[in-house]
Every structure is written in structure tokens, then in C-alpha cells.
Amino acid sequence: MTTTQSRIRSHIANLGNANNEVAQRAERLLIRHYGARALGLLIDACKSPNPSVRFRAVWVLGYTRAPGAFEAIMELTNDLAGTVRYDAVMALGVLGDARAIPPLLALAAQDADEIQIPSAAFSALMRLNELALPALQTASQSDPDDRIRRAATEILAHIAEVAEIYHTIPYPRAL
């Protein structure tokens, strides 16, 4: 085992540390210094019996922006632990993978639950921003599910509002 792998393993072990400062430091170090190099070990960490390890690992996976992280993050959107599900949904927005748009839209259209998964999906789609615009426009006009059409329209309106305020992206003038 290389020194780098050893350090990554040590940081991953610390993701579940009872001391929140130690766990957060491990998370930051994995994001800043190792990223995609830690991909395989982070995917393994997503199977940990400790939900603290899973929810921090899924967040780090999002920040790797590695295409290989998508499946592991998607799997955790169905985790038994609410904190893991929430962070997995948010991590999809951080990851920036277009494959996340349809499942995020479906999650945004769900009825609110105790851990606010629809709100997390809304935020993740907002983060995807320009990448999500074409799919959101299509869904808002032609999705057979009325809840998805409404969610897509609401997200587009919010993107347009933010874009107008900050002049950050082109947005559909039709709204």
C-alpha cells in the first residue's frame, strides 16, 4: 500500500469520528488533497455500517466530480439514514453529472417529508443550473406527470429570478 492510500484510508476512517471537528477535517482533507484519487476507497466507504461515514463519504464523492461517483451517490439517495439520503441528493448537485437531472426532478416533485428530500433535490437542480435548463424546460412543458411539470416550472422560475438578480446565466425569457 502506498503512503497516499494509507493517508486516504486514515482520513476515511476519521469520517466516522465521534469528534465532529476531526470528522470535518478529514472530509476537507479528502476534498482538497485527494479528490478523484480516493474514488475507489470512498465508494467502499459508502457501504460502511456507520451512517456518519456514509454521509460524509457521499459529500466528498460529490466534490470529486468524477463520473465514477455517480452510481454510488445515486444508491445512497435510498439509504435508510435520512442524513445520508439528504446529503446524497445534495451531492448530486455538487457532482455536476447530467444523469442526475431526471432522478432529482422526480425527487423534487415528491411530497415533502421529514428530512426535506424534495427541498434538497430543488437545491441540487439549482446548483446544476445551466446543465439542467434544457431538461427542466422540456419537463415543464411535456412531462406526463403533473407534479414533475409543476416542479420543473417552479425550478425554472427560481433559476430565472436568480439569473436576473445576479446576471449570471442566460435564462428562458418565456417565463
Cα–Cα distances in Å, from 131 out to 55, 95, 98, 126, 157?
A: 25, 12, 7, 10, 15
Number of other residues whose CB lies within 10 A of the CB of residue 42:
30
Q: What is the pLDDT of residues 94-116, one digit of tens each?
A: 999 999 999 999 999 988 776 79
pLDDT score recorded for residue 174: 43
Is the whole model's pTM more than 0.75, yes or no?
yes
| pLDDT score of 173 more than 50 | no
pLDDT at 158 over 80: yes
- Give CA–CA dist 13/10, Å, rounded: 5
Question: CA 134 from chain center: how many Å?
Answer: 19
**Domains (range + CATH), the chain:** 1-95 (1.25.10.10), 101-175 (1.25.10)
pLDDT at 156 over 50: yes
Does residue 56 or residue 167 have the better pLDDT? 56
- Closest CA relative to residue 57, chosen from 14, 107, 99: 14
End-to-end Cα, the chain, rounded Å: 56
Q: What is the pLDDT of residues 51-97, one digit of tens each?
A: 999 999 999 999 999 989 999 999 999 999 999 999 999 999 999 99
